[in-house]
Amino acid sequence: MALAYFGVMYLIAALIYAIVVLPVGMRVRAGGFAAGMLSPMGTVFALFVVFTAAQVWSDRDRATAAVDQEASALRGCVILAAAFPGDPQRHFESLIRSHIEQAVTNEWPMMAHQASTLNTIPRQLAEALEFTLVLKPSSQGQEIAQREITAQLESAQAARRQRILISQSSVGGLKWACLYIQAICVLVTIALAHGDHPGAAIISMGLFATGAAACLLLIGAYDRQFLGQFSIRPDPLVQVMPQSH
């Protein structure tokens, strides 16, 4: 990914240098104009990067919070299930374990490719909720535990819906196109501003191309929240998975 982003940006800079800096007539006519435009063009590009990155960081924070909330809710369910010892507790833990295994082995790869939707009902969580509601509490403590388990299961389902919705979010093609167009405009402006000094033009365009590529790489690396080396892992869910008896 790094080679792709930096390679494309350096290639664009080289093409602009060959087209803009080398022809003598264009740099003579446009030099004064470009110098005044350099600052506002750079500012606009910076704003584009900031707004796009804000979306990416916000999605990542919400996705991380959703996974943590789901894990915390499921852990609470497992702890509260101890109020119903014996077969009810073992059956409930089996359902929670099956849900986590399903999420790790099936849902995570689907979310990575934005193929997971809300049409798929979490069967194990639904069964766990139904099983909880049909339990017959024999004490006040079990009644309280039953209510709390129901609330925690609903919280886990809400968190699952949230992470699936976030997995479908990414920086759109139009935003990427605008970022690259604005970067090209800044490179052209730099080329025109330094047209009389080819060496300075090479250095300035190289520095901006490097900085722009780094910004785009950072956005691209964290754009898809559940895909890639820096993706959000299901580790919190795995950590709260009840052990099989």
**Residues 129-173: tens digit of each pLDDT:** 999 999 898 899 999 999 999 999 999 999 999 999 999 999 999
Residue-averaged pLDDT of the chain = 89
Mean pLDDT of 206-221: 93
Give me the percent of the chain exceeding a pLDDT of 70.
94
Q: Contact, 96 vs 128, CB < 8 A? A: yes
CB neighbour class for 40 (10 Å; exposed up to 12, middle 13-18, buried from 19):
exposed
Distance CA 79, CA 39 (A): 59
Determine phi and psi for 235, rounding to 5 degrees. Answer: -55, -45
Evaluate if residue 245 carries a pLDDT over 70: no
Evaluate if residue 191 carries a pLDDT over 70: yes
Mean pLDDT of 199-214: 91
Evaluate if residue 109 carries a pLDDT over 90: yes
Evaluate if residue 96 carries a pLDDT over 80: yes
